[in-house]
Structure 1
């Protein structure tokens, strides 16, 4: 790690990926993919690990983990080349901090947050919990944003607009595309955040970040765009590239990426 913290970066690369179980991802070549992507900050969701269950060597990166209190459930992680000023797990609300859903890294010029937004359930049985989470998470981000800009990478568990899923009419009342979830995501964006992929690709169709194994969705490209990297509006001019890496296997989600003209130091 010698010299790592003194390194000044002008262009940074961020990756966010729902790995659908970290052990499974490891079996499907995660480390090779991780090295090839060569991100400065790499956020992961749905790691499904308990403390000390997995140990991996990511030379050149600091590792930060937030585990769910329920075994083999949810959880998040961040691997970063640049040591943060501070690290915080959760959003400060005990009701929402039991499942390891959020990690925040603070740097001199921004915060980086990785998050795994709750799924509303096949029968929408957790929709009320999800909506309460949305409100609490938005409040948390705005508190951060009052101090310095924020970059958020995560599985947001919502396809925002009809362009963001293959079959919008058939899924209008399904988890991830309900009016309540979509409205809450709009409120988040309207509170001062930019969807970086749509910022650069406003009309691009048929590109998704999640496909159901159950229906061979990836082979048919019948998917959903559930994974996002958002930034504070004040960072819009620094956005260089924002992509959905659909060619990368290893999960029912694929990574999403962002390159920005920004320094962590």
Structure 2
């Protein structure tokens, strides 16, 4: 009997679970895989070797009966349920506040897992799946997870040094989420937050210092930011000379008399606590070098 007279293996999808019966009465159950446009059946379990058994190509077999046990979509949905585990109780989020509350609830459950790393991994997947729906940045996800872990031992609002190794961090690693970051509307989430008027008008403000350095021809960029970001930060400056000369200008509003200091590595020579003007050769009368 020609296989095409009874079944059509060409309609099968990758990872679909089927059961086939051959002309000699043999039956096989397994998952479909496609190689070079040919369909094969990967059989595992009782009655098969540990490394599995392959039947195919199915187009060349005398198949008298073919039954679909699980479609591709059902296989993926079952795999997803196993990866997520039991759902953390709570209503499905709709509004901005709903998304924030739901994410924090899941993060709080993750923080309470203790040594159960398997359950922690499942809850992390639930957290990431919800965060993906609103496109929440990785650094802001990390802030929520770290903050909820901190709240297990303290009731006060954490500062960055409480949930990180320092009071500044790379913006790509850790950043406090804004309220609008939880909004379901994409245009609202993408709306930029204005710099506070006081920081914008302050000549020693981080963004004004960065702008002044670039106007002097220096290759400067934000390297670390504190919380809030306009009060504390590090600016990495690469010197316009041959080699790997660079330094870090640190801005901290806690010390208004000398807010910008350098602390870096200049071809292996430490330049700690030297004023920016001494390291970069900036004019002493420039606003960023004057207290």
TM-score when normalising by structure 2: 0.20
Higher relative contact order (CA 8 A, sep 6+): 1
Q: Flag the structure with higher helix content.
A: 2
Q: Which has the larger radius of gyration?
A: 2
- TM-score, normalised on structure 1? 0.22
